[in-house]
């Protein structure tokens, strides 16, 4: 006995088959090549994420030219602080060598970010200054050499 | 008789075939269900598996990290988009807790509560926890955010559709939609730097060495030694995110 | 600098307590409120249609095709608020070609397609096939070809084939009920599975979404049935309204009970987020939760519907009451979507502060856009009712 298949089912089967084939063909073209290379993501994205230019050159790049400053710093409490903590992103300066491409912050507020008095700073770990009371008419660096804070000027 | 033997051996064969296929099916179901729960799989053992330590005791709230992060990663300067930021917690004598993070701490902190009312106060730097079972990776519908083989949670900016589901799923508030690129954005542990052998910008600039990253697989690495010698804690451990950002000396008020 | 993100600076001044800095920019706006609302109407309308077919509730017969076409009109629009809300809408296709197996959202494309193609379109096709063949014969010009294409070129209307339309349609309806449950339960799961958000993260979320969907869908079909009768100047059959009202009443009771359970559980276990959520519902959500969703959308309609179960008096009064109740219920369900979607984003995941949300009028994420997506289905429905008028169908032959 021949198995009866209603005619509408045959039509629908064709319609669905066309739809599914279309979908699969489209999918073939749309999925990026490196997708699934390492996991459920575009493998090339790893390289994309490694691509951006650096802005901070890293301590070693500073030492290549400024070993003298490092030697000064080594004698005092700022020894372990990297140059770019205060001088900002240095890659541009490393590449150009121009003094104008590096920051030289000198405001009281800038020093205050670390040394301003705040109850959240553990006593004894860092020197804290009440900015509103301590030599308010002067910049910090008029007395303190930022590379050797306790080597007072004058 | 012979016919019977054939029949029973056929039955046996069918039986074992059914068992085998059942086992395979069961195994693959189990495996896929694990896949559903844990987005990340243990990766190549030859590669590093990165973790981060933040020592709350050392943080002085200078905000150098948050500022450096914005400089390094072209994060918009407006105070609504941060890959890392610093919070100040102030627990008052009456038990109430005040938290602040003005501009993510980039401009430093001003003490808002007078000394005599303070029970204790401390800074907590925040950044992506690079979870091993990241909720954000789990929910991304297209695979535009993923665990790199080194265990760093990254975003594929060319593939992200901007549905913001990952932002909702992150319990730590570490993600945002980049207002210019119009894709999800977050800390990459400065993937572009560590691939060049440089430290992440926040760690490069931290004056007190409050942050540290390293290979959790290398039992001799500094980070593993630190974890061994200190009592550390992750944020929101109840959510089982597999956070790989370990805090030393974390106070219970921190969320 | 302030000019770049004026709305964010404005929110900055409305923050209470402490929120993570990235939370100031609220992620899901009014379009994501509209999305589950529309999807809910689809599921609800379909389930009402199925009641007639599977449970042979003959009184509901006049609403059957209207319910199906309503479901289709809303389903066609359901994805639009989602897609238009994407930051990269041109990449939306990725969700179909590389769906991430662990993502609740990724499966939406397939659940949606299944529901559209396998359930709704097929059911409507089987239902209308006989009529469309006849219409293709009667009409001239373009319309003849439209109907011919819609029949997929099959013009077999022999009694045997037509009887198969009915059988197959019945099978699809039976498959369709769990599909409708899955479609909307699944929308609830998108929210319920976010463990980072205690306002969303509850296993009851899919069930709550499902029942509120049924409530809204049933109410919407009731209103559309009234409107269609009015526009076609036919007498509105109050018995049909009574039948729909009965279902609405029972589903609303279930919906209310389950949502109540969820809240009672939340209050009793009082997890770490409890204090924050308490402040949220007593403050920023007070109007939309207690007044709009609770009182207007649930308690008053429950009272009125209970009254209408016994009151069989003045027909005019009953019709008016059903009309008002339908609108109130829709307002309630819309508020429920709002409370879930917006409410869940108003408090910080640090549990120590709140942000605020102000919906703009214009823009891709504005009120006008939301209203557009809410009105578009009615335009589609009008077109569908014109293309496939239920009242001109070839009458079914009773076996």
Could you tell me how many helices (H) and strands (E) chain A has, helices first? Answer: 6, 2
Q: Residue B197 belongs to a domain with what CATH number? A: 3.30.70.20
Is the pLDDT at C139 greater than 60? The verdict is yes
Spatial neighbors of B137 by CB under 8 A, at least 6 apart, are: B39, B40, B131, B145, B146, B147, B153, B166, C102
Nearest residue, CB atoms, C97 vs list A11, A14, A27: A27
**pTM (predicted TM-score):** 0.90
H or E stretch covering B198? none
Q: Is C245 exposed, middle or buried (0-12, 13-18, 19+ CB in 10 A)?
A: buried
Half-sphere exposure of C374 (CA within 13 A, CB side): 17
Contacts of B157 in chain A (CB under 8 A): 48
Interval B85-110: pLDDT, tens: 999 999 999 999 999 999 999 999 99
Q: What is the pLDDT of residues C74-115, one digit of tens each?
A: 999 999 999 999 999 999 999 999 999 899 888 888 889 999
Residue B38 pLDDT:
42
Point out which residues pair with B212 in neighbouring strands.
Answer: B53
Contact between B183 and B162 under an 8 Å Cβ cutoff? The reply is yes
Residues of A with CB under 8 A from a CB of C: 6-9, 11-12, 14-16, 19, 23, 26-27, 30-31, 35, 40
Alpha carbon C217 to its chain centroid, in Å, reads 6
- Is B192 close to A109, i.e. CB distance below 8 A? no
Nearest to B176 among C22, C95, C100 (CB): C22
Residue B165 structural domain: 3-248
CB-based contact C161 A6, cutoff 8 Å: yes
Helix (H, G, I), strand (E, B) or coil at A75: coil
Q: What is the DSSP letter of B51?
A: E
The pLDDT value given to residue B39: 40
C164 touches chain A (CB under 8 A): yes
CB-based contact C98:A35 (threshold 8 Å):
yes
User: Mind listing the pLDDT tens digit for each residue in A41-68?
Assistant: 999 999 999 999 999 999 999 999 999 9
Asked whether the beta carbons of residue B72 and residue A50 sit closer than 8 angstroms, the reply is no
Nearest-angstrom CA–CA distance, B60 and A115? 9
Domain chopping of chain A, boundaries: 7-50, 59-142
Is the residue at B35 inside a domain? yes
Question: Mutate which of B106, B145, B147, B161 to test chain C, going by most C C-beta atoms within 10 A?
Answer: B161
Evaluate whether B247 touches B54 at the Cβ level (below 8 Å). Answer: yes
Whether residue B253 lies inside any domain: the answer is: no
Residue B159 resides in a domain: yes
B90 to A39: CB separation less than 8 angstroms, yes or no: no
* Tens digit of each residue's pLDDT (9 = 90 or more) over C15-52: 999 999 999 988 999 999 999 999 999 999 999 998 88
Residue C2 has pLDDT above 90, yes or no: no
Q: Which two tokens stand for residue A108?
A: 């009281």
Q: Is C354 helix (H, G, I), strand (E, B) or coil?
A: strand
Task: Show the CA angle centred on residue C27, arms to residues C25 and C28, nearest 5°.
Answer: 140
With an 8 Å Cβ cutoff, are C91 and B160 in contact? yes
pLDDT in tens, B133-184: 999 999 999 999 999 999 999 999 999 999 999 999 999 999 999 999 999 9
pLDDT given at position B209: 94
Domains plus CATH for chain C? Answer: 16-392 (1.20.1630.10)
Q: Does B41 sit within 8 Å of A39, measured CB to CB?
A: yes
Percentage of residues in chain A having pLDDT higher than 70:
98
Q: What is the pLDDT of residue C207?
A: 95
Total number of domains in chain B = 1
Say whether C177 sits in a helix, a strand or coil.
Answer: helix
Residues of A in contact with B60 (CB under 8 A): 114, 121, 125-126
Q: Retrieve residue C117's tokens.
A: 């193609």
Q: Check residue B35 and give its pLDDT.
A: 46
CA pair distance C62, C391, nearest whole angstrom: 9
**Chain A partners of B125 at a C-beta cutoff of 8 Å?**
none
Nearest Cα residue to B180 out of B95, B75, B31:
B75
For chain A, first and last CA: distance in Å?
113
* Per-chain mean pLDDT for chain C: 92
pLDDT value at residue C61: 87
Q: Which chains border C (3 or more CB–CB pairs < 8 Å)?
A: A, B
Q: Buried b / exposed e across C205-221, counting CB within 10 Å, b at 16+?
A: bbbbbbbbbbbbbbbbb
Kindly tell me the sign of the dihedral angle through the C-alpha atoms of C49, C50, C56, C57: negative
Q: Which residues of B touch A51 (CB under 8 A)?
A: 192
Three-state secondary structure call for residue B86: strand
Whether C100 and B81 lie within 8 Å, measured CB to CB: no
pLDDT tens per residue, range C174-197: 999 888 888 888 899 999 999 999
CB–CB contact A19 C93 (8 Å): no
Per-residue pLDDT band for B10 (boundaries 50, 70, 90) equals low
* Cβ distance of B142 and C99 shorter than 8 Å: yes
Q: What is the ipTM of this complex?
A: 0.91
Contact predicate C208/C50, CB 8 Å? no
Once rounded to an integer, what is the mean pLDDT over residues A2-7?
84
Where is C361: in which H helix or E strand?
none
Which of B196, B205, B208 is closest, CB to CB, to A84? B205
Please report whether residue B177 resides in a domain.
yes
Tell whether B254 is covered by a domain.
no
Mean pLDDT, range C273-277, rounded to an integer: 93
Q: What is the mean pLDDT of chain A?
A: 92
* Residues from chain B contacting residue A88 (CB–CB below 8 Å): 71
pLDDT at C3: 60
**One-character DSSP codes across C214-247:** HHHHHHHHHHHHHHHHHHTTPPP-HHHHHHHHHH
């Amino acid at each position: 006995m021949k198995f009866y298949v209603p005619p509408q089912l045959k039509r629908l089967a064709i319609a669905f088959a066309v739809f599914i084939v279309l979908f699969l063909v489209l999918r073939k073209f749309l999925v990026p090549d490196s997708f699934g290379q390492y996991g459920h993501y575009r493998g090339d994205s790893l390289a994309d994420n490694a691509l951006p230019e650096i802005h901070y050159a890293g301590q070693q790049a500073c030492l290549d030219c400024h070993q003298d400053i490092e030697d000064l710093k080594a004698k005092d409490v700022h020894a372990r602080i990297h140059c770019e903590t205060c001088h900002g992103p240095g890659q541009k300066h490393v590449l150009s060598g121009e003094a104008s491409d590096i920051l030289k912050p000198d405001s009281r507020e800038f020093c205050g970010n670390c040394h301003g008095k705040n109850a959240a700073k553990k006593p004894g770990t860092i020197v804290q200054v009440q900015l509103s009371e301590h030599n308010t008419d002067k910049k910090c660096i008029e007395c303190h050499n930022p590379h050797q804070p306790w080597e007072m000027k004058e | 008789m012979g016919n019977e033997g054939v029949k029973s051996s056929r039955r046996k064969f069918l039986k074992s075939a059914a068992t085998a296929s059942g086992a395979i099916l069961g195994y693959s179901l189990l495996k896929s269900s694990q896949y559903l729960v844990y987005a990340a799989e243990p990766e190549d053992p030859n590669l590093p598996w990165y973790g981060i330590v933040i020592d709350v005791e050392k943080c002085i709230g200078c905000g150098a990290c948050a500022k450096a992060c914005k400089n390094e990663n072209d994060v918009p300067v407006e105070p609504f988009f941060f890959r890392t930021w610093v919070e100040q917690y102030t627990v008052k004598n009456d038990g109430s807790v005040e938290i602040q993070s003005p501009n993510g701490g980039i401009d430093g902190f001003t003490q808002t509560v007078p000394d005599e009312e303070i029970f204790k106060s401390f800074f907590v730097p925040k950044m992506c926890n690079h979870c091993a079972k990241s909720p954000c990776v789990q929910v991304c519908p297209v695979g535009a955010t993923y665990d790199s083989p080194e265990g760093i949670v990254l975003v594929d900016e060319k593939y992200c559709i901007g549905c913001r589901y990952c932002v909702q799923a992150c319990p730590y508030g570490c993600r945002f939609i980049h207002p210019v690129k119009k894709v999800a954005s977050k800390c990459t542990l400065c993937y572009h730097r560590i691939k060049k052998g440089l430290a992440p910008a926040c760690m490069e600039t931290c004056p007190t060495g409050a942050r540290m990253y390293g290979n959790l697989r290398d039992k001799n690495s500094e980070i593993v030694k630190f974890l061994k010698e200190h009592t550390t804690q992750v944020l929101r451990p109840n959510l089982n995110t597999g956070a790989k950002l370990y805090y030393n000396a974390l106070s219970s008020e921190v969320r | 600098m302030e000019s770049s993100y004026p709305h964010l600076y404005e929110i900055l001044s409305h923050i209470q307590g402490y929120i993570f800095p990235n939370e100031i920019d609220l992620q899901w706006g009014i379009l994501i409120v509209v999305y589950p609302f529309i999807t809910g109407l689809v599921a609800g309308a379909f389930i009402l249609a199925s009641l007639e077919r599977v449970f042979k509730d003959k009184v509901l017969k006049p609403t059957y095709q209207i319910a199906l076409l309503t479901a289709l009109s809303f389903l066609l629009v359901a994805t639009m608020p989602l897609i238009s809300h994407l930051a990269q809408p041109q990449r939306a296709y990725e969700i179909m070609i590389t769906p991430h197996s662990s993502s609740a959202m990724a499966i939406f494309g397939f659940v949606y397609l299944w529901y559209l193609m396998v359930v709704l379109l097929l059911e409507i096709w089987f239902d209308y096939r006989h009529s469309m063949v006849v219409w293709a014969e009667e009409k001239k010009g373009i319309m003849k070809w439209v109907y011919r294409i819609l029949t997929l070129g099959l013009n077999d209307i022999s009694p045997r084939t037509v009887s198969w339309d009915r059988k197959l349609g019945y099978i699809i309806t039976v498959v369709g009920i769990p599909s409708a449950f899955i479609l909307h339960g699944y929308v609830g799961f998108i929210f319920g599975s976010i463990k980072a958000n205690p306002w969303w993260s509850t296993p009851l979320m899919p069930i709550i979404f499902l029942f509120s969907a049924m409530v809204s869908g049933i109410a919407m079909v009731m209103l559309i049935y009234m409107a269609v009768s009015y526009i076609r100047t036919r007498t509105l059959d109050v018995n049909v309204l009574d039948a729909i009202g009965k279902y609405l009443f029972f589903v609303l009771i279930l919906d209310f009970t389950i949502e109540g359970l969820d809240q009672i559980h939340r209050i009793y276990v009082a997890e770490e987020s409890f204090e924050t959520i308490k402040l949220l519902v007593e403050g920023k959500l007070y109007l939309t939760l207690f007044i709009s969703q609770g009182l207007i959308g649930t308690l008053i309609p429950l009272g009125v519907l209970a009254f209408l179960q016994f009151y069989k008096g003045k027909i005019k009064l009953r019709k008016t009451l059903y009309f008002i109740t339908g609108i109130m219920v829709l307002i309630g369900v819309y508020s429920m979507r709002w409370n879930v979607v917006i409410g869940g984003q108003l408090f910080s995941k640090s549990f120590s502060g709140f942000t605020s949300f102000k919906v703009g009028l214009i823009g891709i994420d504005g009120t006008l856009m939301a209203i557009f997506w809410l009105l578009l289905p009615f335009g589609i429905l009008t077109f569908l009712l014109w293309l496939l008028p239920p009242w001109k169908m070839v009458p079914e032959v009773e076996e």
